[in-house]
Amino acid sequence: MILSKKLFLASAVLFVLASLSFIGSVGASSEMWSQTYGGADQEVAHSLVETSDGGYALAGYTNSSGAGHDDFWLVKTDANGNMEWNQTYDSWYDHANSMVETSDGGYAIAGSTGWYFSGIHDFWLVKTDANGKMEWNQTYGESEEEVAYSLVETSDGGYALAGVTDSFGAGNYDFWVIKTDINGNMEWNKTYGGAESDVAFSLIETSDGGFAIAGYTGSFGAGDYDFWLIKTDEHGIIPEFPSWTILPLLLATTLTVIIYRKKLYKTQTQQSY
Ligand SMILES: [Ca+2]
Ligand SMILES: [Ca+2]
Ligand SMILES: [Ca+2]
Ligand SMILES: [Ca+2]
């Protein structure tokens, strides 16, 4: 009798625990969902942010909507992934690779625009308002391949983009970093690389106001491609041993040698008496 009572109690406890874990799992599953966005042709998302209103923004390209020939595609959803609006941006063949929600509540989207075949793209930067309406756009590049893979809004309100260039630098693809003002006007640009292929995929503004850029290098490292991380100052310059320190160091060394030799001569002269 006592045993069956204990069994009953144990079963009751187990039942309550099982029920609680079931309720818990139902609660957790309600947080999970999936959504698709697109038409009959190709849509590819390359960048995602959680927006300040608790929703999401996705950027990539679409072939189904817009002007055709691949357009930048920005999709804004609510917290459950329900599309609130979407916008396409067309220049030519346009692939968005990186997107940020900007401090004014809008969006900045970076990628490439150009002919379908690789080799003659340029960086393309599109700035929109909070509803995805284009405010301005800028292209950067020359006759060879340029593709932007990474974008940040900088602390001064401008933008920094990183990617690859074949028009400038040491040849055979180099890191290319562009710093712009708040309207996308280029303030400076820098290339980093050697004779082989060097491609930047990610850029951050560092806490000291400089930049760190990562990608792969075929020019340096242990062979084939290696991770490559570059740290620069706020102007994209890699700090080196400052050249102005060389002359004072040389003068100080020369003076020391002269004084030492004079002392030595004096000692030798005194000893000769
Ligand atoms: Ca599709
Ligand atoms: Ca297009
Ligand atoms: Ca180009
Ligand atoms: Ca190179």
| Distance from residue 144's CA to the centre of ligand 2 (Å) | 19
Per CATH, domain 43-240 is 2.120.10.30:
yes
Amino acid symbol at 181: D
Task: Tell me how crowded residue 111 is: count the other CB atoms within 10 A of its CB.
Answer: 29
Distance CA 60, CA 40 (A): 16
Integer CA distances (angstroms), 63 to 31, 47, 108, 130, in order: 31, 17, 21, 24
Angle 37-41-45 from CA coordinates, rounded to 5°: 45
Contact indicator for 83, 38 with CB cutoff of 8 Å: no
Element (H, E) at 17: helix 2-29
Write out the two tokens for 21: 């874990």
- Bridge pairing between strands 134-140 and 121-128: antiparallel
Residue 189's DSSP bridge partners are 178
204: pLDDT strictly greater than 50: yes
And the tokens for 57?
Answer: 């923004």
Distance 66 CA to ligand 4 centre (A): 35
Please tell me which residue, 179 or 257, carries the higher pLDDT value: 179
| Residue 269's pLDDT band (cuts 50, 70, 90) | low
**pLDDT digit string (tens) for 141-151?**
999 999 999 99
- SS3 of the chain: helix, strand, coil, percent, to 5: 20, 40, 40
Partners of residue 151 on adjacent β-strands: 161
* Whether the predicted pLDDT of 184 surpasses 60: yes
The reported pLDDT for the residue numbered 18 is: 47
Q: How far is the CA of 167 from the centre of ligand 4 (A)?
A: 11
User: Distance between CA atoms of 100 and 110, rounded to whole angstroms?
Assistant: 9
Q: How far is the CA of 174 from the centre of ligand 4 (A)?
A: 4
Within 13 A of 223's CA, how many CA atoms are on the CB side? 0
Side-chain-side CA neighbours of residue 212 (13 Å): 7
pTM score, two decimals? 0.79
What pLDDT does residue 17 have? 44
Three-state DSSP at 102 gives coil
Distance from C-alpha of 131 to C-alpha of 133, rounded to nearest angstrom: 6
Of 85-99, 173-187, 228-242, least confident by mean pLDDT is 228-242
Tokens of 69: 């020939």
Spacing, Cα 122 to ligand 4 middle (Å): 17
pLDDT (tens digit per residue) in 15-72: 444 444 444 444 444 689 999 999 999 999 999 999 999 999 999 999 999 998 999 9
As given in the structure block, the two tokens for residue 149 are: 């893979």
Instruction: Give the tens place of pLDDT for each residue, 102-134.
Output: 999 999 999 999 987 766 899 999 999 999 999
DSSP state of 69: S
Place 258 in a pLDDT band, splitting at 50, 70 and 90: confident
Cα 220 vs. chain centroid, distance in angstroms?
A: 21
- pLDDT for the residue numbered 5: 61
List CB contacts of 272: < 8 A, sequence separation 6 or more. Answer: none
Q: How far is ligand 1, taken at its centre, from the CA of residue 129, in Å?
A: 26
CA of 166 to the centre of ligand 3 (A): 8
Average pLDDT of every residue of the chain? 88
Q: List, as own/partner pairs, every contact residues 209-217 make where C-beta atoms lie below 8 angstroms and the sequence separation is at least 24, other chains included.
A: 209/155, 209/233, 209/234, 210/234, 211/160, 211/177, 211/236, 213/162, 213/175, 213/177, 215/149, 215/162, 215/175, 217/193
